[in-house]
Amino acid sequence: MTTSLTLTAPARVTSLRSVIGSITRYGAVATVSWGVLALIVLAALVAPLLPFYDPYTQNLGGAYLPMFARADDGTLHLLGTDSLGVDTLSQLLLGARLSLVIAVGSVLVSAVIGVTLGVAAGYLGGLIDRFVVVMIDVSLAVPRVLFMIPVVAVLGSSLWLLILLIGVTGWVVFARVVRTQVLSLRRRDYVDAAIMMGSGHLAVVRRHILPNLRSSVVVLASLDLGSVVVMEAGLSYLGLGVQPPQTSWGLMIEQAQDYIVTDPRLLIVPSIALVVLVLAINLGTRPFTAEFRPGRRRGAESTVLPGA
Amino acid sequence: MTAAPPATTTEPGTGISSSSSASKNLLSVSDLTVLFDTPVGPRAAVDGVSFDVRDREILGLVGESGSGKSVTLSSIMGLTRSDSARIEGSARLGDTELISADESTLRRIRGKDVGMVFQNPMTALNPVRTVGAQLADAIRLHDRTVSRAEIRERSRDALADVGVPAPQMRLGQYAHELSGGLQQRVAIAMALINAPGLVIADEPTTALDVTVQAQVLDLLLAARERGASVVVVTHDLGVLAEVADRVAVMYAGRIVEIGPVADVIDHVAHPYTAGLRASLPRLGTRMERLTGIGGAPPLLVDRPTGCAFHPRCAHTETVCTTDRPELRPVGDAHASACHRWEVLHG
Amino acid sequence: MAESEILEVQDLTKDFRRGRGPVTRAVRGVSFTVRQGETLAVVGESGCGKSTTARLVARLMQPTSGRVIYDGVDVTRYSTRRMRPLRPLVQMVFQDSWSALDPRMTCRDIVAEPLRVQGRYGRAERGRVDELLARVGLDGRYGDRTPATLSGGQRQRLSIARALALEPRLLVLDEPVSALDASIQAQILTLFQDLQRDLGIAYLFISHDLAVVRHLADRLLVMYLGQVVEEGTGDAVFGAPRHPYTHGLLSAVPVDHPSARGQGPGRLAIGEPADPTNPPSGCVYRTRCYRAADSCAETAPVLLGPAEHREACAFPQARSLVELRGPAG
């Protein structure tokens, strides 16, 4: 394992350089977004190693400290403290870990299930399509939380269960869009051309359907990431999500609601963090999704700008 | 440069006086230029185009994709979006200058003085309103005093005039209930319902079968019989041999040849027109190979110097690469923008 | 079946049904053969079943009944897997070159794809891709571009290069030039002629454009409402067309010269095609026919006579192009 790592290290450096090169190519907004994302992820990764205060240590004497305040013992709290005197910045950084893991994990689960079912329905049609459409309708009719409550009640709350639950109940967003798109992609003549070469259906899906879905799936995922972080917050509030003393951005927002009048800072800090994360994801993925604009297709051959 | 109304009907730059015949002009376009913003700066999709449409004539505007033929028409009718395009020159319909006209003037003219037929009838027809309701709209838009009974009668007659079977029944139908041929006929009925003096048809037969195409062409001829002038935009020279009185051949945003259709065919005076004709297979005579034209039309952002056609032309000389040829008379009411047009007649 | 017959189609029929709606018979009892190196054209109005026929021949669609025979092998019931080794025999070029080319692939990958799928793409074949591109008039610098950066004519050339990659003996061409400008259309038609001369390839050419069919076809089928109503060699059918529908189509083609206007007998095909879900009794064409008699409603005529020229009509009449279109038409 170690040897293989050292062997591949030089290659990684060059590839990292080319990755940075290809990112900066997409303009300032995307570059900044990726920088912010990298910072958040990095902070979340190294948070336990940073010389911050133990977020599990309560200090009731130092509760509700404003930003940049010092506690009685002289420690500096850059973003203040909460009702139990816990340092907000430390909480924010540790909360990022859980929020990111839950968000990325469950969106991945949703995307895999949704894309699989969407492609199967759109490409194969017939009974499978009808089954998936009914599933979509049912899923849209039943609130996700209603499904989660009994499951958590029986199995108990855990991180992995949470990811699985949010993921499994979130497939509809992906399946709906992917199904409609596959319905139209399947009718493209290049699919017929591939079949005439002797390609099997799996090869057609792999080579011609999935690559053409990439941009819309990336858009859906980036939109979904934001809503999942918020959903995790809601679940935590119901006691189904992250349980104290562990923390997440969602839980922080939920807990802050009790102090919305007395100390809005507790709500504002994690909310801003959440907005920055979602914005960075959306703006950062835009260059990769903008390349697929249906309007450009015919436009290239218009009377105004004929094709090359 | 904008809206300079020509004092005479002489087309600038052509030296052809279009008042040589007794008929007067319904539409006079002079020095029309349409500039589009492109990544490399503004470029002229239409570049100094001048032509007249006479009373009761069918003028054909022919050219390939990117020749500027459709942009010419949509600019005249104020349908070119102004945020991306700058339109210069003049287009006079009777006493009205269209290029500088405000939207309300254009709205009054469209549908009443000028009827428009488009390539795809589905885009001209509203999918959620009945044929009758749309015909009624077209009437009422320009005359609020007509009675319901009169509207019904005129709508029915308009459909019957364009050969729609069972017109009374069609009034209650929706566009999607009609075949492609019937849709185009209803669209034409709508364009003709206020008896406009000018009918503009943009590729009206392109998507149609040959049988339906023949019927649509007959309708354009019938509109002319009833006193209208017609401008047909097409990429199909064959369509013009069937219906047009005169043709204007466009290439890279300019008219390269204009004249009576028989003269343009028999005494072709531009190598592009000759190539276009040689590209068309014929029913009557089976040729071994089509001579056609090599290469492809130039991009808007990459127009050649001198004559825009010179890279594809078999008769190119040095002058063709440096000097842009202007339209010059080559016969009675027949003009060509070619330095070497005589070669074609040799 | 004779040695030189690459494709034989016997009594092909295809029914479509939307949900629980009525059955539409798009193709009814069509039979024909295509021989080595020849061009068979299928001509007719939209909805006549010509494109469905192309897709049945290409094995992109399963016929309701009838047989599709590739080079002597009945492939009608072949699965995707069994078709695979036979696929190279028949390739296809589509009308809409936007839809025919995957927008995410480069030109070189598009042309290499059939070789890869058939497991024929090795080091030696790299040069073959550039050769194919050059063969259709696209030089190597287009290799790394995507279809969106090409013009309509160039995209159609790319489609042709891809179809040629597996060295097919038959190309199914479904309206391959009808979306192109006149000068580009002529170039592509000439390319088809050159390829046929050099490679001995056969074409099944689907078109609604009679002049193009006249130019390219050795033999042709005229289809109406899913049936072949007249067939024969190009010279026979265009020289002395006998079916009233063929008369109607030919009389509708615009004249070559304004002097021929109004010289013909007028439009001989009345109105529009009948509803294929509810075809007329007897002869399907009788509702538009200028020669229809009462008896046409009773018995459906069948194709009779030698394959050089035959028609399905109770009252055929050989008429010349001059009769149908006027002297200069």
| Separation between Cα atoms, residue B308 and residue B302, nearest integer Å | 10
pLDDT at residue B221 in the model: 93
**DSSP tag of A259:** G
Token readout for C269 is: 């095909």
Contacts of residue C208, defined as CB under 8 A and 6 or more positions apart, other chains included, come to: B209, B210, C43, C44, C45, C46, C50, C175, C178
Q: Does B280 touch chain C (CB under 8 A)?
A: yes
Q: Which residue of B has its CA nearest to A307?
A: B299
For Cα atoms C3, C56, C81, give the angle at the middle one, nearest 5 degrees: 80
> How crowded is the C-beta side of B110, counted as CA atoms within 13 Å?
18
Decide if pLDDT at C124 tops 90: no
For Cα atoms C314, C318, C319, give the angle at the middle one, nearest 5 degrees: 130
The two beta strands, B85-93 and B25-38, are antiparallel
Among partner residues C60, C114, C150, which is closest to A307 by beta-carbon distance? C150
C9 beta partners: C32, C68
List the chains bordering chain C where 3 or more Cβ pairs fall under 8 Å: A, B
3-state helix, strand, coil in chain C (%, to 5): 35, 20, 45
Read off the pLDDT band of A54 (50, 70, 90): low
Strands (DSSP E) found in A142-226: none
| Separation between Cα atoms, residue B141 and residue B106, nearest integer Å | 13
The two beta strands, C219-224 and C202-207, are unpaired
Q: How many other C-beta atoms can be found within 10 angstroms of the C-beta atom of residue B142?
A: 17
Say if CB B33 and CB B346 are below 8 A apart: no
Decide if pLDDT at C83 tops 90: yes
Angle between helices A126-141 and A171-185 (to 10 degrees): 150
**Quick one: CA dihedral A303, B1, B4, B10, positive or negative?**
negative
Decide if pLDDT at B180 tops 90: no
| Separation between Cα atoms, residue A228 and residue A249, nearest integer Å | 11
| Separation between Cα atoms, residue B2 and residue B20, nearest integer Å | 27
**Which amino acid, residue A243?**
Q
C-alpha distance from B195 to closest chain A C-alpha (Å): 30
Token readout for C314 is: 């109770």
| Separation between Cα atoms, residue A148 and residue A152, nearest integer Å | 6
Q: What average pLDDT does the segment B79-87 reach? A: 79
Phi and psi at residue A210, to the nearest 5°: -55, -45
Decide if pLDDT at A55 tops 70: no
Say if CB A60 and CB A71 are below 8 A apart: no
Decide if pLDDT at C37 tops 80: yes
Average pLDDT, chain B: 87
Read off the pLDDT band of B345 (50, 70, 90): confident
Write the pLDDT tens digit of every residue in B314-332.
Answer: 999 999 999 999 999 999 9
CA distances from A75 to A70, A92, A263 (A): 5, 17, 20
Among partner residues B65, B70, B299, which is closest to A308 by beta-carbon distance? B299
B49 beta partners: B32
| Separation between Cα atoms, residue B243 and residue B240, nearest integer Å | 5
Percent of chain B exceeding pLDDT 70 equals 92
Decide if pLDDT at A8 tops 60: no
Torsion-angle region of residue C275: left (phi > 0), alpha (psi -120 to 50) or beta?
beta
| Separation between Cα atoms, residue B296 and residue B280, nearest integer Å | 16
Enumerate chain B positions whose Cβ falls within 8 A of a Cβ in A. Answer: 36, 38, 45, 65-71, 297, 299-301
Read off the pLDDT band of C329 (50, 70, 90): low
DSSP alpha helices (H): ranges in chain A?
2-24, 28-46, 88-124, 126-141, 144-155, 159-169, 171-185, 189-197, 201-204, 210-237, 249-256, 265-290, 294-299
pLDDT at residue A214 in the model: 87
Q: How many other C-beta atoms can be found within 10 angstroms of the C-beta atom of residue B136?
A: 20
Write the pLDDT tens digit of every residue in A19-44.
Answer: 666 656 667 788 888 888 888 888 88
Read off the pLDDT band of C319 (50, 70, 90): very high
Read off the pLDDT band of A62 (50, 70, 90): low
Say if CB B98 and CB B74 are below 8 A apart: no
Say if CB A229 and CB A249 are below 8 A apart: yes
Residue with tokens 């109004």: C262
**Which amino acid, residue C317?**
Q
Enumerate chain A positions whose Cβ falls within 8 A of a Cβ in B. Answer: 301, 303-308
Q: By CB neighbour count within 10 A (0-12 exposed, 13-18 middle, 19+ buried), where does C266 fall?
A: exposed
Q: Which residue of C has its CA nearest to B218?
A: C267
Domains annotated for chain B, with CATH where assigned, are 9-107+229-281+301-346 (3.40.50.300)
Nearest to C26 by CA among C273, C261, C214: C273
Among partner residues B38, B70, B301, which is closest to A303 by beta-carbon distance? B70
**Which amino acid, residue B51?**
F
Write the pLDDT tens digit of every residue in C137-195.
Answer: 998 788 899 999 898 999 999 999 999 999 999 999 999 998 898 899 999 999 999 99
Instruction: Quote ipTM for the complex.
Output: 0.89
Say if CB B290 and CB B281 are below 8 A apart: yes
Taking only Cα atoms into account, the Rg of chain B, rounded to an integer number of angstroms, comes to 21
Read off the pLDDT band of A3 (50, 70, 90): very low
Kindly determine whether residue A297 and residue C162, on different chains, have CB atoms separated by under 8 Å: no
Write the pLDDT tens digit of every residue in B93-130.
Answer: 988 999 988 888 988 898 889 999 988 877 788 889 99
Token readout for B214 is: 């023949």
**Which amino acid, residue B155?**
S
Q: Which of A87-91, B200-204, B252-256, C297-301 has the lowest mean pLDDT?
A: A87-91
- Residue A224's SS3 state is helix
Mutate to test the interface with C, among B233, B242, B256, B282 (most CBs of C within 10 A): B242
Token readout for B296 is: 């492809």
For the whole model, what pTM was predicted? Answer: 0.84
Kindly determine whether residue C92 and residue A196, on different chains, have CB atoms separated by under 8 Å: yes
Average pLDDT, chain A: 78
Q: How many other C-beta atoms can be found within 10 angstroms of the C-beta atom of residue C260?
A: 19
Nearest to B30 by CA among B59, B64, B56, B53: B53
Among partner residues C185, C208, C267, which is closest to B209 by beta-carbon distance? C208
Token readout for A32 is: 């900044």
Kindly determine whether residue A196 and residue C87, on different chains, have CB atoms separated by under 8 Å: yes
